[in-house]
């Protein structure tokens, strides 16, 4: 008789979306919740989970925030939760996708230019 077992870290997307104005980039987006944990699996079936951590990521710029365990469990149980700015603890600020950079001269702008005003190269 043999057992197939393993330990792995996993991340699950929770069923949570909240429309907000992002505290990092100031654009309209939504919070998406994730749970990260370590699990023991027997015959590829998760049997035991530990080390749960809960995160929120913004859809606009990708900023990542941690939230406390109590709020995370409420979200996991699909309870009605509204996250406030004081509930979030920044882990990684997101990239502001509005910034355009010229690959030729390095000019940066948030304006909706198609061509660089310095050297006339197409902005990426």
Tens-digit pLDDT profile for residues 67-113? 999 999 999 999 999 999 999 999 998 875 567 778 888 888 877 78
Classified as helix, coil or strand, 42 is strand
Instruction: Look over the chain and give the mean of its residue pLDDT values, rounded to a whole number.
Output: 89
Percent of the chain with pLDDT over 90: 52
**What does the alpha-carbon distance between residue 50 and residue 105 come to, in Å, rounded to a whole number?**
50
Asked if 72 and 51 touch (Cβ cutoff 8 Å), the reply is: no
> Picking from 4-8, 27-31, 108-112, which range would have the lowest pLDDT averaged per residue?
108-112
pLDDT value of residue 32: 95
Our CA angle for 64, 90, 73, nearest 5°, is 70
């Amino acid at each position: 008789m043999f057992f197939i077992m393993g330990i792995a870290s996993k991340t699950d997307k929770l069923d949570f979306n909240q429309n907000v104005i992002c505290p990092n980039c100031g654009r309209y987006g939504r919070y998406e919740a994730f749970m990260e944990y370590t699990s023991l699996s027997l015959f590829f079936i998760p049997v035991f989970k530990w080390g749960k951590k809960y995160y929120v990521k913004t859809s606009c710029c990708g900023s990542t925030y941690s939230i406390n365990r109590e709020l995370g469990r409420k979200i996991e149980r699909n309870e009605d939760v509204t996250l406030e700015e004081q509930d979030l603890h920044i882990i990684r600020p997101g990239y502001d996708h509005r910034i355009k950079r010229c690959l030729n001269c390095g000019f940066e702008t948030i304006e909706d230019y198609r061509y660089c005003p310095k050297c006339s190269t197409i902005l990426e």
